[in-house]
A = this chain, B = another copy of it.
């Protein structure tokens, strides 16, 4: 794909994304150093690594969210997931970041699990399957460290009971023409998936406060629909904070995909599998021979091991600087940076597995019995 030629839609990310161009194309705002400083002051401590390194780089109305928080109006967080057979490390980005925001601002988080959408989008899946995956994914999500008193995780096929009234009000405002392009639908789409956008928008109206959605920037078009209709229903336009795409293991373009297993590290991958995948598939920006690498150093722009460390696995800024300097100059070899990545991924997964195990006792709390969850089951959203 030619330089500068890329595609970002909710269902496809292709090419080397120019994020500055994307901000202009999508009409979002850049997260400026000034805005970051404002957040830093608000949280009274260090920023999350994904903010420090501009992994979360763009927003809509994040400034208004901060203002609401400072004036005591508050806000709430919303994210979600279409359940799948297994989650990969990239899927954890919005959840880890959302749980950090929750800890800093002490706000409610709503997490929608779209077992209905997943079922309706794929001819081959049964509802029983997507619900099994929902249970399984919820364990990984809980492992991101959410507050059980302030977090409500819900599946569409269960919580529809409480959401349907607000969903029909939303649905009445959206025509097939309006959702068609955004959601990649056509006249051969089934009538359930055509209705689904209403259920995706509904949680943005769970509170009469501003809703902040942390998500990949490819999801932005969905929320434009919400922003078109929210105020006419008496709610706020949803604010967003957008992340870049963690590149697939196999190359610096596009995004990780569950349908290409070697492009991703799964949360269930064991240490041996992680090592094998990184060593075999991780796309390198290093030079083809040790001699050339020593002389020229690696091209960090296209080197996936470096980018994975930068995006996700090496939170220590001085350490990432050291790796940048040594690998970029040729002091560090490709095999060495890959070993560092293997070690960091396995450390992350070990902690994750432990938390995931503990999460099994918490599913009921997050879904039904926790403080926020039990309040939510009492509420009908109108």
* Chain A positions near chain B (C-beta within 8 angstroms): 116, 119-120, 127, 156-157, 160-161, 164-165, 167-169, 171-177, 179-180, 185-195, 197-198, 382
In the complex, the answer to whether B172 meets A119 with C-beta atoms within 8 Å is: yes
- Give min CB distance, A382 to chain B, whole Å: 7
Q: Which chain B residue has the least Cβ–Cβ distance from A158?
A: B161
Q: A225 to B120: give the CA distance in the assembly, Å.
A: 18
Copies held by the complex: 2
- Could you say which residues of chain B place their CB within 8 Å of the CB of A197? 191
Q: A336 to B266: give the CA distance in the assembly, Å.
A: 85
From A156, A169, A176, A193, name the one whose CB has the most chain B CB atoms within 10 angstroms: A176
In the complex, the answer to whether A127 meets B165 with C-beta atoms within 8 Å is: yes
In the complex, the answer to whether B175 meets A190 with C-beta atoms within 8 Å is: yes
A164/B160 contact (C-beta < 8 A), A187-B180, A192-B198, A194-B195 known: yes
- Give min CB distance, A130 to chain B, whole Å: 10
Contact of A190 among B160, B171, B193 (CB under 8 A): B171
- Could you say which residues of chain B place their CB within 8 Å of the CB of A172? 119-120, 190, 192-193
In the complex, the answer to whether A187 meets B168 with C-beta atoms within 8 Å is: no
In the complex, the answer to whether A191 meets B198 with C-beta atoms within 8 Å is: yes
A120/B168 contact (C-beta < 8 A), A160-B161, A191-B198, A194-B191 known: yes
Q: Which chain B residue has the least Cβ–Cβ distance from A117?
A: B168
- Could you say which residues of chain B place their CB within 8 Å of the CB of A116? 164, 168
From A167, A174, A180, A195, name the one whose CB has the most chain B CB atoms within 10 angstroms: A195
- Could you say which residues of chain B place their CB within 8 Å of the CB of A187? 175-177, 180, 187
In the complex, the answer to whether B189 meets A192 with C-beta atoms within 8 Å is: no
Q: Could you name 28 residue pairs across A and B whose Cβ atoms are closer than 8 Å?
A: A116-B168, A119-B168, A120-B168, A127-B169, A127-B382, A157-B165, A157-B168, A161-B161, A167-B192, A171-B190, A171-B191, A171-B192, A171-B193, A173-B190, A174-B191, A176-B186, A176-B187, A176-B189, A176-B190, A176-B191, A179-B191, A180-B187, A187-B187, A191-B195, A191-B197, A194-B194, A194-B195, A195-B195
